[in-house]
Every structure is written in C-alpha cells, then in structure tokens.
C-alpha cells in the first residue's frame, strides 16, 4: 500500500464498478462507519490489572471519539471493568465514553440449566456486556488439543478396548451386524498395523480440527442477539485450507452456517472478524495486505448475496492476526477493513493505544 495515503477514520462505503470503496465522512455523522478496534485479552489479567491496563490505554487515547474501542477481559474481569468504563466517568476523566464497549470472549446457547462452567447471554447482558465474541479460532480449532478428546478417541482403537466392546455388543439383543463385522475385521492380526495407523491418524486430525461446530456457533449467535448483545462473529481458515487454496470455500461454509436464520434487520448488530489461523500466534506473520483485501471483499460480496448491498456496505468486517501498531494503518487503507480484533498487542497499553490512534499524529 502507499504509505502516503492517510487512512480514513470515519467514512462511507459504496460499490462502484464492482469494487468497494471508502469515501471520507465528517466525524459525528451518524450515518458514517466508525472503525472498531477490539482487544481480546484471552486468559490474561486479574480484574484489578485489567482496570489498570484500560486506564492507561484511555489516558493515551484522551479525546479520541471517532472510533469504537472494545475490551474483552476474562469472565472474572467483566463486572469490575464494567463498573470502571461507565460512560459519564470516562467522559469526565478522559473525554471519551460512548465509544467504549465491554466484550465477553464467549457465551453459551442455553439460558440456564445443568451446564457447569458455562455463561449464558442473559447473564452477560445483566452485568453490562455490550458485545460477545463468538466462534473465535481458539474455540473453533484448539479445544481438542487441551481437553483430550483426540487421545480419548484414539484409545478406543486399541485392541483391548475393541475386544471389550465386541464382547459387550454381543450381549445385546439385535446388535448392529455391520458394527460387529467392522470391529472383528479390525481385530484380525494381519490388520494390527492398520489399526495402529488409524489411531495415530485420527488423534492427529482431531487435535487439529476438534472444536466448536458451525451449528453450535450459530446457536450462540442467536442466543446473543435475542438477549440484546451485539455479536463479533469470527471466521477464518486453518493452515491446511490456506495451502490447498480452499480459503473461500471454508469461509463461505462458516458464514452461511454461522449466520443461518439471522434476519436482515438484525445484521447491523453483527460484526464479522476474519482471523486466519496460520497468521495467529507466536512466530506467525500477519496475512499479506493483498490477501486481506481479497478475503474481506469476498466476505462482503457474500453478505451482499445474503442480505443485499446496503447491509453489506454497512456491516463492519475486522481483521485479526498479528495486528501491530506498524501495520494497522495499512490495513485500514483497504476498502473492506473496518478495524481489528487484536490479541497480544492489546495487552500492551502503548501498542494498543497506537492501534486505536492509527493515522493520528503521535
């Protein structure tokens, strides 16, 4: 990108000659699009430390009112931060307020019940949460690695487990003959290498893929919207899909299934965050600007197919994946990018303040 171009901080978006474009808007115009810079603190910071970090960021961003800021502490820090970011207090102390939003990192799709460890959308709304992140890559792709699901499946392909299972099934009335035949086939001595290889393959595959399904994410989206929470809907491809040029195919599935049943009039309450998994984490690099442009245009065109051009122009699409102070301005020059979902850099007050202040003088 041309570094001499100053990225717009408030803008309109329109589609001309089959291309999306930004045009500048006056600050305060209610019809203008405001960038959204959201910090996802993940499993970091106790409540008091979270407030201290937020206070330092606000101090570095005094009187910055032309963009929206979001803060997503762990569940334990939500109430404490909610008390601190009361709009009238922020206006008096920092000259900001109505553009600061409290985010939850996840929610559950049921309102109550025997779901130990889960938090419902109405519980979040009751303590002042404004928006909730749903479908984050940590939850889409990484859960199996930590919860042991993959190794549990692999153990079920051991000879001892299958032998025990075969005996148990033979004691049932009318057992499934196809299942019995499959187990008996796998237990034959000449197939021992196949059985061991299958167990190893499945464990590796589930480690890579086990996580929240598109169906579960869709239910969470509806639960959040029905309780008055705005949604930050995350989508993105893993390294394998990226290498096999299946990015658009995967994204279309995630978006169509994740937003299924979301009405057109509700879409202004949805923000989409594109986060390629291969560009996230220590040692990774941000996606190239050209790819970010192509993917954001693809998502916006898909939204146009689903909801019409007006909604597609208005819905904010963020980028997430190694967003830093030195690359945010270039990203914001792109017509399809409306902000960022920031991980590690949001834990550093100076870095996140620089991201929030993109395009402004130091």
User: Which residues are catalytic, by number?
Assistant: 136, 275
Identify whether the C-beta of residue 73 lies closer than 8 Å to the C-beta of residue 57. Answer: no
Distance CA 307, CA 312 (A): 7
Q: Which of 227, 232, 220 is closest to 316 using CA atoms?
A: 232
Cα 332-338-339 angle, rounded to 5 deg = 75
* Three-class secondary structure of residue 284 per DSSP: coil
Count of residues for the chain? 362
Distance CA 164, CA 144 (A): 26
Q: Which of 77, 70, 74 is closest to 103 using CA atoms?
A: 70
Strand-strand pairing, 68-72 and 317-319: unpaired
Query: Using N-to-C axis directions, what is the helix angle for 192-209 and 159-170, rounded to 10°?
Result: 100
For residue 241 the two structure tokens come to 């899909």
Distance CA 136, CA 142 (A): 10
For residue 329 the two structure tokens come to 């301005």
Distance CA 202, CA 154 (A): 6
Burial class (CB in 10 A: 0-12, 13-18, 19+), 210: buried
Identify whether the C-beta of residue 230 lies closer than 8 Å to the C-beta of residue 270. Answer: yes
One DSSP character per residue, 192-207 reads HHHHHHHHHHHHHHHH
- CA torsion sign, 96 to 326 to 297 to 347? negative
Give how far Cα 143 sits from Cα of 150, 172, 210, 228, 238, Å: 10, 34, 6, 27, 14
* Three-class secondary structure of residue 52 per DSSP: helix
For residue 44 the two structure tokens come to 């970091």
């Amino acid at each position: 990108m041309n570094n001499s171009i100053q990225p717009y901080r408030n803008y309109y978006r329109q589609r001309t000659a089959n291309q999306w474009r930004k045009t500048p808007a006056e600050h305060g115009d209610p019809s203008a699009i405001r960038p959204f810079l959201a910090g996802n603190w993940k499993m970091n910071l106790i409540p008091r430390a979270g407030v201290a970090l937020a206070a330092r960021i606000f101090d570095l961003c005094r009187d910055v009112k032309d963009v929206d800021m979001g803060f997503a502490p762990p569940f334990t820090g939500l109430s404490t931060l909610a008390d601190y970011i009361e709009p009238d207090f922020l206006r008096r102390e920092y000259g900001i307020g109505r553009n600061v939003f409290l985010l939850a990192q996840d929610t559950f799709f049921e309102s109550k019940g025997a779901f130990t460890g889960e938090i419902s959308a109405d519980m979040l709304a009751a303590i002042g949460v404004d928006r909730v992140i749903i479908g984050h890559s940590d939850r889409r792709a990484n859960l199996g690695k930590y919860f042991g699901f993959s190794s549990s499946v692999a153990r079920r392909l051991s000879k001892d487990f299958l032998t025990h299972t075969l005996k148990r099934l033979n004691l049932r009335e009318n057992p499934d003959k196809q299942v019995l035949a499959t187990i008996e086939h796998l237990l034959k001595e000449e197939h021992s290498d196949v059985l061991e290889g299958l167990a190893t393959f499945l464990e590796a595959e589930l480690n890579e893929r086990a996580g929240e399904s598109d169906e579960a994410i869709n239910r969470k989206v509806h639960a959040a919207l029905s309780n008055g929470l705005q949604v930050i809907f995350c989508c993105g491809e893993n390294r394998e899909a990226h290498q096999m040029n299946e990015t658009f195919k995967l994204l279309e599935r995630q978006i169509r299934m994740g937003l299924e049943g979301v009405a057109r009039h509700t879409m202004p309450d949805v923000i989409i965050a594109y986060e390629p998994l291969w560009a996230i984490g220590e040692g990774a690099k941000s996606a190239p600007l050209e790819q970010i442009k192509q993917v954001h245009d693809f998502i916006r065109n898909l939204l146009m197919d689903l909801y019409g051009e007006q909604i597609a122009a208005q819905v904010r699409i963020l980028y997430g994946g190694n967003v830093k102070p030195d690359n945010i301005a270039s990203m914001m020059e792109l017509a399809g990018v409306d902000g960022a979902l920031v991980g590690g850099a949001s834990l550093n007050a100076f870095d996140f303040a620089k991201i929030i202040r993109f395009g402004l003088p130091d």
